[in-house]
Amino acid sequence: MNYVYNEWNYKPCGFVSYGGVSGGLRSAQVAKQLVTTLKIMPMVEGVMVQMPWESLDDQRRFLAGEQHTGSANAMLTEMAKWSEALRVLR
């Protein structure tokens, strides 16, 4: 991430995390702290996938549930707003 430091400055970012019961939320929180040092605006909204292995089809493809698509839509909507707001700083 440091290699593209200037390219990432003043841009929004969102996180999709996965894991057990917590769905990777703790690692996403640490990553949010990291990206702020690179002048990246992390979104409050995110996509959390609890126990992703339970949402795989026969070909081992992930089948997103309504909670995943709803979270993704909310996060992407906020990212679009922040992208416009941060444009003047870029």
- How would you write the chain as a 3-class SS string? CHHHHHHHCCEEECCEEEECCCCCHHHHHHHHHHHHCCCEEECCCCEEEECHHHHECCCCCECCCHHHHHHHHHHHHHHHHHHHHHHHHC
Query: For domain 2-89, is the CATH number 3.40.50.360?
Result: yes
pLDDT of residue 3: 84
Tell me the per-residue pLDDT of 31-50, one tens digit each, with 9 for 90 and over.
999 999 999 999 999 999 99
Say if residue 60 is exposed, middle or buried (CB neighbours under 10 Å; 0-12, 13-18, 19+). Answer: exposed
Residue 10 scores a pLDDT above 80: yes
Beta bridge partners of 62: 56
Tell me the per-residue pLDDT of 65-75, one tens digit each, with 9 for 90 and over.
999 999 999 99
Domain residues of the chain, as ranges?
Answer: 2-89
